[in-house]
Amino acid sequence: MATIGAVVGGAVRPLRAQKAGERSPASIIFLVALWATLLFAMAALAALLFTSFADGLGRLDSNLFTQYASQLFPERGGARAAILGSLWVIGTTAVLAIPLGVAAAVYLEEFADPRRWYNRFIEVNLQNLAAVPAIIYGMLTAGMALAIGLRRGVLLAGGIALALLILPVIIISAREALRAVPAEIRQGSLALGASPLRTVWHQTLPASIPGVATGTILALSRALGEAAPLLLLGGLVFVTYDPDGLMSGFTTMPIQIYGWAGQPQIEFRTLASATIIVLLGMLLVMNAVAIVIRNRYQKRW
């Protein structure tokens, strides 16, 4: 007959470090696997930057900034039209998207009654819009331009397409910034007799500017790197003049890179990677500005 001690002793095995501890083989293999995944991400980033920089660095000369694209002499051509075009398009996008996006965010966050069906509908709709592929916005803008008789290849159309693309992103990030402003500030302003609109204009919105600015700059940097919607709007690859207005023809850096990367001659590839360096440099500056604003001006309540 078994004693209680024998039964219990048989059932409970002592914990052993090799099987269940932090240093068991399985745990160590798991941790090494996790490290490997991160190493892969870092290696991919390093390889990507190396591929772009290795070729293009030598071509990062004054020609790149002062010359237009040349089909015949790629070794002397430059990306002047594309660089200026990118700045024009991003400027147009910013002018269109920022006021609309912030206004929509203020309405949804400060005034909208979430119990109303149409406000809930706007919410779901925004989530869906944020996931619509970029190229679809190009098709929308092309269709719109056709309907109102706007020429497709103009800068304004490109700005509109990119503004539509980043509008949901701006609205979502601006709402988060507004939500972070504590209710006491609004209540204080209202208690002093300010109207709700005045409260937003003089208290809530100024308090949320750092957050709104950060989100907006990041959204604009996404627009700066986007090419897909502009392909449908006839963003041309070989433009040999400076854009001089909203109705001017244009090309941008991402489109120019796309056009050059597909050419068989090695000179075009070099030119593409030099343009990539300029593009990445601009994105880096924008992101750095966003981070500085976030760290320096963001208040923590």
Q: Which of residues 74-103 bind another protein (CB under 8 A)?
A: 99-101, 103
Q: How many CB atoms lie within 10 A of CB 277?
A: 18
Determine the interface stretch with another protein among 31-39, 60-68, 177-185, 209-217 (rule: CB under 8 A).
31-39
Q: How many CB atoms lie within 10 A of CB 151?
A: 13
The one among 107, 246, 249, 267 contacting another protein by CB under 8 A: 107
Asked if 131 is part of the footprint of another protein (rule: CB under 8 A), the reply reads: yes
State the residue for tokens 């331009």: 145
| Least CB distance to another protein at residue 231 (A) | 5
Asked if 132 is part of the footprint of another protein (rule: CB under 8 A), the reply reads: yes
Write out the binding residues for another protein, residues 199-238 only, by CB under 8 A: 218, 221-222, 224-228, 231-232
- Kindly state the tokens that stand for 186: 């609004």
Look up residue 34 and give its amino acid.
L
CA nearest 59: which of 231, 237, 238, 257? 257
Contact 254, 279 (CB under 8 A): yes
The one among 63, 67, 287, 298 contacting another protein by CB under 8 A: 287
CA nearest 158: which of 241, 224, 62? 224
Determine the interface stretch with another protein among 22-30, 70-78, 84-92, 292-300 (rule: CB under 8 A).
22-30
Asked if 38 is part of the footprint of another protein (rule: CB under 8 A), the reply reads: yes
Rounded CA gap, 200 and 178, in Å?
10
The one among 7, 65, 95, 128 contacting another protein by CB under 8 A: 128
The one among 7, 8, 21, 247 contacting another protein by CB under 8 A: 21
- Torsion 79-91-165-178 (CA) sign: positive
x/- contact string, 241-280, with another protein (CB under 8 A)?
-------------x--xx--xx------x--xx--x--xx
Asked if 138 is part of the footprint of another protein (rule: CB under 8 A), the reply reads: yes
Asked if 113 is part of the footprint of another protein (rule: CB under 8 A), the reply reads: no
Start-end of H helices in 21-133: 25-56, 62-66, 80-106, 117-130
Rounded CA gap, 173 and 264, in Å?
42
Q: Which helix (H) or strand (E) holds 6?
A: helix 4-11
The one among 8, 48, 192, 292 contacting another protein by CB under 8 A: 48
CA nearest 187: which of 291, 110, 275? 110
CA nearest 175: which of 195, 204, 196? 204
Asked if 185 is part of the footprint of another protein (rule: CB under 8 A), the reply reads: no
Nearer to another protein, 180 or 283 (CB): 283
| Least CB distance to another protein at residue 230 (A) | 10
The one among 60, 87, 140, 194 contacting another protein by CB under 8 A: 140
Nearer to another protein, 6 or 50 (CB): 50
Rounded CA gap, 255 and 222, in Å?
14
Nearer to another protein, 111 or 297 (CB): 111
Asked if 31 is part of the footprint of another protein (rule: CB under 8 A), the reply reads: yes
Asked if 197 is part of the footprint of another protein (rule: CB under 8 A), the reply reads: yes
